[in-house]
Amino acid sequence: MQKTYFQVLPNLIEIQWPKAISDEILFDQLSWKTFLMENHADIILEIRIGFNSLSILFDKSISEDEWIIIWQTLNNFNFSQSSFYSNTWKIPVCYGGNFGLDLKKLSEEKHISEMDIIDLHIRKTYRLHFYGFLPGFMYLGGLDPLLAHPRKPIPDRIIQNGAVAIGGNQTGIYPMESPGGWHVIGRTPLKLFDSKSQDPVIPKQGDLIIFNKIDQIEFDHIANLVSLGQYSWENA
């Protein structure tokens, strides 16, 4: 797969993949990240993944000659996608009404019934590509093209924590109350980010996400279990 790179800062390299959201690109990125951390962790401070990019922050300036050696090694190494194991997580969502305040308007703008939007949304399996925007905000690939919709021209001042939303050709979940310009179609009662935990997020990059439709009674029940610390994420 064709890749290019450029030096953003003396100690920051960004690698770019073709502009697409795909499992092939993600597994390529995860392979490169794993290789870099296994072989060059002593000189790397941080690696960040985007849909089409991988940024490497080194602990000091890296020369062109030093980088070329790493770059050529990466390109010549034969990575295997089979080495990656993915969990599949079920996330309960209550759609519409007070939980999905934008569902009705989205239905009108797209000329798709609310039920059909919900059905299209829960029918797909989504890939977690990376976290960004907010701590614990999952950027998910796999949205049905029929549901893709431009973000709001004027963002909402407040979106509830747990809001399941659509923005562009992606879907995601707001882990905490925040301003945002995505179209909210539902809400999950799960706690998506726990700053007090040693492992603040449950799903990992490369994992799969399935949305499971629930009603308000189920929502309230799960929310109560979450508040008591008695809820365990369901692995499909």
Given a cut of 90, is residue 77 above it in pLDDT?
no
Given a cut of 60, is residue 162 above it in pLDDT?
yes
In a domain, 97, yes or no: yes
Distances in whole angstroms, Cα of residue 74 to Cα of each of 35, 66, 77, 164, 220: 8, 13, 5, 37, 49
In a domain, 144, yes or no: yes
Domain boundary among 78, 101, 134: 78
Given a cut of 90, is residue 1 above it in pLDDT?
no
Domain boundary among 78, 109, 144: 78
Quick one: 191 and 94 in the same domain?
yes
Quick one: 188 and 167 in the same domain?
yes
Given a cut of 80, is residue 6 above it in pLDDT?
yes
Quick one: 41 and 70 in the same domain?
yes
d(CA 2, CA 17): 7
d(CA 104, CA 111): 10
Contact 190, 202 (CB under 8 A): no
In sequence order, the 6+-apart residues with CB closer than 8 A to the CB of 118 are 95, 96, 103, 185, 186, 213
Given a cut of 70, is residue 108 above it in pLDDT?
yes
CATH number at residue 173: 2.40.100.10
pLDDT band at 81 (very low <50, low <70, confident <90, very high): low
pLDDT of residue 82: 54
The pLDDT tens digits for 11-52 are 999 999 999 888 889 988 999 999 999 999 999 999 999 989
Per the structure, the count of domains in the chain is 2
pLDDT of residue 132: 87
Quick one: 68 and 114 in the same domain?
no
> Which token pair is 227?
């508040």
Quick one: 60 and 173 in the same domain?
no
pLDDT band at 106 (very low <50, low <70, confident <90, very high): very high
pLDDT of residue 20: 85
Average pLDDT, the chain: 93
In a domain, 83, yes or no: no
Quick one: 35 and 95 in the same domain?
no
pLDDT band at 80 (very low <50, low <70, confident <90, very high): low
Quick one: 56 and 95 in the same domain?
no
CATH number at residue 29: 3.30.1360.40
pLDDT of residue 84: 67
In a domain, 48, yes or no: yes
Given a cut of 80, is residue 83 above it in pLDDT?
no
In a domain, 100, yes or no: yes
Torsion of CA 155, 135, 19, 170, to 10 degrees: -50
> Which token pair is 71?
């770059």
pTM comes to 0.86
Q: How many residues does the chain have?
A: 236
d(CA 82, CA 76): 18
Domain boundary among 78, 99, 126: 78
Full domain range(s) for residue 69: 4-78
Beta pairing, strands 183-187 & 178-180: unpaired
Quick one: 205 and 120 in the same domain?
yes
Quick one: 59 and 122 in the same domain?
no
| Average pLDDT for 86-104 | 97
Quick one: 134 and 54 in the same domain?
no
Quick one: 55 and 123 in the same domain?
no
Q: Which of 21-25, 212-216, 228-232 has the least mean pLDDT?
A: 21-25
Quick one: 56 and 160 in the same domain?
no
